[in-house]
Chains A and B, each alone.
Chain A
Amino acid sequence: MRVARLARLKIADGEIANYQAGLAEILTLVAQMDDCDTDGVAPLAQPQDIALRLRDDQVTETNERERLQSSAPQVEDGLYLVPRVVE
């Protein structure tokens, strides 16, 4: 499934058919959108429909690297560890 790769989600071979069936059913439901005429309608991204508030570009948080990294599965010398990327 291409979409599973895009979503970085491993779907086992035995489960693919089941997910495909589920997605097909949801897309059938979603296709009911076609009954609604949207010609000339502007999209609405969020209910307030206003530009989000901006703040001054100033440091407002303290550095809490250790505390934030304490929930990471694997950390060393303040860095997150992942499998080797570059040989």
Chain B
Amino acid sequence: MLHQHSLTALRDMLRRKEVSSEELTRHFLDRIGQFSSLNAFIAVDEEGAIESARKADQAIASGQLADLTGLPIAHKDIFCTRRLTTTCGSKMLAGFTAPYDATVVERLDSAGVVVTGKTNMDEFAMGSSNETSFFGSVQNPWDITRVPGGSSGGSAAAVAARLVPGATGTDTGGSIRQPAAFCGLTGLKPSYGRVSRYGMIAFASSLDQGGPLTRSAEDAALFFSAMAGFDSRDSTSIAQEAPSVDDLLSKPLKGLRLGLPTEFLDDSVDAEVLARVREALDALESLGAQLVDVSLPNSSAGIPCYYVIAPAEASSNLSRFDGVRFGHRSRDAADLQSLYENSRAEGFGDEVKRRILIGTYVLSAGYYDAYYLKAQKIRRIISEDFSKAFERCDVIVGPTSPTTAFALGEKTKDPVSMYLNDIFTNTVNLAGLPGLSIPVGFDTAGLPVGMQLIGRFMDEASLLSVGHRYQQETDWHVRCPEGFG
């Protein structure tokens, strides 16, 4: 079946003309329609996708190949697209069409992809379960009564259900890695500054980073290589070209030191998750990696620090939604003040409002030092903890999330318990480091377990190389949820 092939395999099949892009695109579009009850997509673009596929087939016929020519993908609905609506999962932007394409969208277009549609997500990427979306929750293909994770939940569900072979995501505190773990995928959060944020709707600007969700590390390297690289339109973009796929996958595992932080491997983690991670570590050790103990002593301060910095930046970023220039506008507006207040009250959902209020509070006069400044100091301490750990090891390894996918509705009433999901992922954003989640097995309920690899700044290559080597010896990443074969 076509949809069981990896992105890399499909690329090779297209090049050998064993399948046409139009054939492939129609196949995936059919599946998107067939499994629409997952609610993974907010918008589907059949006409545009077929048109791009035909162009790709012409390019293939004339030998003008780009890296991803003819491969169907989907974009998280946080990336601005001129052709399709961009909602960010919010009523505030329902029906909004951006006047420009995000750099990531532009780059992937010029790499030849076929965009099938835009995927569902937590509202403004604020959530860990995709349940805050204005467009409804998304089902996890491994168990449709469970969440796919978030905020890139639609992208994760779509790739796991084989509705597309790869999709874009964004990660502010774990929003690529946690859904990848919950859906049995490979998800890469690149180093801060690697992938342009231009046209990626901002949540917390010092933490946000775009990246790919795919089935394998090899596919992630292919996708990432096409997304990354310097962009003058993003002031935090790093002046380095995107690494090649070969460079990303070719670091030897032999002699590589994998650091195990004691703080990530204690009994706060579900026993089955811990067992799968330990088995994966044993496998990597037998393949030549060296395991060393490291410590990240201040990682418990990560969650409180993150929940000051992220809402503070969000409250500032989301002040642009004023009902005047774009987005939802209240009909109930006697004066300018009530136009702002009512448009925002009607346009934003509960979780977004909560974070705007927290962010406004921690930045307000008299509280700034105690909250925002304190959090920024902790941020440096957390970053320095990582630097010290990397003196003893090359890659840090642990669980991506303390549990496997939880039930839909289980945590919606309790925001703080939802926040604790990101305990192993958000320190990585605070420090700006690259992180990768790879599937390392299942729990007894049949739910995927993810293992997180954390690298030095700009060293995505070590992460993807370890992932690729592991996936050459194991088959967790090719397992398919029942009913989607």
Contacts and interface: CB of A to CB of B under 8 A. Distances in A.
A59 interface: no
Contacts of B127: none
Contacts of A52: 235-236
Interface stretch (B38-46, B102-110, B275-283, B304-312): B304-312
B344 interface: yes
B360 A33 contact: no
B416 A29 contact: yes
Contacts of A42: 377, 380
Determine which residue in B98, B338, B357, B358 has the highest number of CB atoms from chain A within 10 A of its CB, and name it: B357
A7 B356 contact: yes
B356 A23 contact: no
A43 B377 contact: yes
B53 interface: no
Contacts of A68: 99
A83 B335 contact: yes
Interface in A22-78: 22-23, 25-27, 29-33, 35-36, 38, 41-48, 52-53, 55, 64, 67-74
Nearest to A40: B377
Contacts of B193: 47-48
Interface in B306-351: 307-308, 315, 319, 322-327, 329, 333-342, 344-345, 348
B301 A32 contact: yes
A33 B324 contact: no
Contacts of B244: none
Contact of A38 (B335, B344, B374): B374
B379 interface: yes
Given A25-B416, A43-B373, A44-B376, A19 B206 contact: no
B383 interface: yes
Given A38-B378, A42-B380, A85-B336, A29 B303 contact: yes
B371 interface: yes
A68 B325 CA distance: 9
Interface string B367-395: 00001011111111101000000000000
B423 to A, nearest CB: 12
Interface string A7-24: 111111000000100110
B376 A43 contact: yes
A26 B415 contact: yes
Determine which residue in A23, A35, A43, A46 has the highest number of CB atoms from chain B within 10 A of its CB, and name it: A46
B377 A22 contact: no
Interface in B404-452: 415-416, 419, 430-433
B206 A45 contact: yes
A83 B343 CA distance: 13
Contact of A44 (B298, B301, B380): B380
Interface string B353-367: 110111111101000
A64 B99 CA distance: 9
Interface in B64-79: none
Nearest to B306: A30
A36 B236 contact: no
B232 interface: yes
Given A19-B354, A26-B416, A33-B304, A55 B232 contact: yes
Given A29-B307, A47-B206, A74 B329 contact: yes
A3 to B, nearest CB: 5
Contact of A19 (B98, B192, B342, B357): B357
A29 B380 contact: no
A63 B325 CA distance: 16
A5 B377 CA distance: 29
Contacts of A53: 235, 239
A71 B96 contact: yes
Given A9-B356, A26-B415, 4 more contacts: A10-B344, A22-B415, A30-B308, A33-B374
6 contacts: A9-B356, A10-B338, A25-B415, A29-B307, A30-B307, A47-B193
Sorted from nearest, which 3 A-B pairs have the closest CB atoms? A47-B432, A43-B376, A44-B380
Interface of A: 1, 3-12, 19, 22-23, 25-27, 29-33, 35-36, 38, 41-48, 52-53, 55, 64, 67-74, 80, 82-85
